[in-house]
Homo-oligomer: A and B are copies of this chain.
Amino acid sequence: MPRHQRGEVCVLRQMARSVLLPNSHQKGISQLKLQRHHASPILRPNPFNEWEALNVFNCAVVFHNGLFHMLYRAQGVDYVSRIGYAVSADGVDFNRLQQPILWPQSDLEKRGVEDPRVTYLADEGRFIMAYTAYSAQGITPMFAQSRNLITWQRIGPLVTGEKNKDHALFPRRIGGRYVSFHRPPPAMWLAYSDDLASWGSFQMLMEPRPGHWDGRTIGAGGVPIETEHGWLIIYHAYDDTRTYRFGAALLDLEDPSQVIHRPQDFILEPREPWERKGDVAMAIFTTANPVVDGTVYVYYGGADRVIGLATCQLDDLLEFARFG
């Protein structure tokens, strides 16, 4: 179904397979770069809709019931962020609703609801949205829930009163508890909860690596991908020049606070004009990485103005995260 650049196979993967077989699984891929979909940017501002006239960017994408459901951050001429909904059969051509599905409703959200990341809790049949509330009081990492992806009920914040965001819920309980990323700058942390309303056991997970591409600040990408070798994650980072890039890492399945491996190299950096220039220069920012038919679909905001799509094979990304 996905109309993908199936032919655009990663050269390094082929090299690995031909050169290193039969032991390619021990050190299969030392480098990996995501492949941009040729249709990128796949979503752009819509000047006919006031609320999404200026920018559409960071988005959640959930593959459910045969469809890619996208919830995307949009800014109108008032620069307030609202969240829109779009749906697609192939993950590329999205059909969007005319009106937003989430907008500021409380004092904490006065300046916008931002950066949705949506997790499907399969055994509960409900979707959890992690989003950032923005107001004069600062930013607040919030959770909301839905059973249909259109109507959302707010649950509450992960923490309040701190400069904290980039939260994303793991897709199942671990050791009986819900687990979420969050980011008191500049590092990635975990938090734990019994009910999604009260959060604690805050624990640092990964720090920036000074001098590297991820030297200044790091934060979660989309929802962690469960694999036999661990939780596969994509994260964003920027360096001293404020250039954003994406990296990957692998966390222990039963204790995600244990980083199994964190490759040295990044997997995407700004290259296209729409990634380099926009509302925030050199900012690529991913908040979704659904896996469909073995392909990882990485959706990301391009310079806070448009939405891009880059992909890779799950097998390749996993090998890179293990051995890269």
Contact = CB atoms under 8 A, between A and B. Distances in A.
Copies, count: 2
A310 interface: no
Contacts of A97: 87, 95-98
A66 B48 CA distance: 29
A72 to B, nearest CB: 13
Contacts of A48: 48
Interface residues of A, number: 17
A67 interface: yes
A150 B96 contact: no
Contact of A151 (B46, B89, B96, B150): B89
Contacts of A151: 66-67, 89
Given A148-B66, A151-B67, A95 B87 contact: no
Interface in A96-124: 96-99, 101
Interface string A139-172: 0000000011011000000000000000000000
A65 interface: yes
Contacts of A87: 97, 150
A255 to B, nearest CB: 35
Contact of A147 (B65, B98, B147): B65
Interface in A183-212: none
A47 B67 CA distance: 28
A65 B148 contact: yes
A147 B95 contact: no
Nearest to A89: B151
A89 B150 CA distance: 8
Contacts of A99: 95
Interface in A74-110: 87, 89, 95-99, 101
Contacts of A67: 148, 150-151
A8 to B, nearest CB: 25
Contacts of A65: 147-148
A99 to B, nearest CB: 5
Contacts of A66: 147-148, 151
A150 B148 CA distance: 14
Nearest to A148: B65
A318 B251 CA distance: 60
A89 B101 CA distance: 11
A95 B101 contact: yes
Q: List 6 A-B pairs, minimum CB-CB distance, nearest first.
A: A65-B148, A95-B99, A95-B97, A89-B151, A48-B48, A67-B148
Given A89-B151, A98-B98, 15 more contacts: A48-B48, A65-B147, A65-B148, A66-B147, A67-B150, A67-B151, A87-B97, A87-B150, A95-B97, A95-B98, A95-B99, A95-B150, A96-B98, A97-B97, A97-B98
17 contacts: A65-B147, A65-B148, A66-B147, A66-B148, A66-B151, A67-B148, A67-B150, A87-B97, A87-B150, A89-B150, A95-B98, A95-B99, A95-B101, A95-B150, A96-B98, A97-B98, A98-B98
